[in-house]
Structure 1
Amino acid sequence: MSKKDQQPRHLRRIDPEQNMRRFYVLMVQPTLFGGASVVRTWGRIGTAGQTMMETFDQQDAANTAFILLERRKRRRGYQDV
């Protein structure tokens, strides 16, 4: 991943017809043991939301998971903030 790709992704999905105002944040963080973690936070805009961390032994595996999660959210209608 390039330096730009390592930046956290702040996405949101707003649909007034469904009373939907959601956010989704994705980031990759290094671990102390040479691996990497994909950290994702999601919820309704205006709340703290929920957080999940998934740890990988290799940086490449974390980058792949990051890309797949971002694609999945964009297919569902999430856009950059």
Structure 2
Amino acid sequence: MTLEILTPDQTVFEGEVNSVTVPGTQGSFEVLNNHAPIISTLEDGKVIIRTGGKSEESYFIKGGVVEVLNNKITVLAEGIVK
């Protein structure tokens, strides 16, 4: 799967991932390979990115929207807290 995390002023992450956990408005959820198409609003919270092996990376976003379609995940975040 490919993941892209964008803010209004920068591309934060772009690459291949095994799974992603996002802070949905109704609770966090995980996106795996071949996930059903979805568009969901996001709250402030942690986006956890898992790549091959036990590698894990996370970003704290300030709300936004996620779209999953054909194994491409796009997170449009209002901002990133460093």
Instruction: Pick the TM interval, shorter chain.
Output: 0.3 to 0.5
Q: Point out the structure with the larger helix share.
A: 1
- Higher Cα radius of gyration: 1
Q: Point out the structure with the larger strand share.
A: 2
Whose relative contact order is higher, 1 or 2, with alpha carbons under 8 Å and at least 6 apart? 2
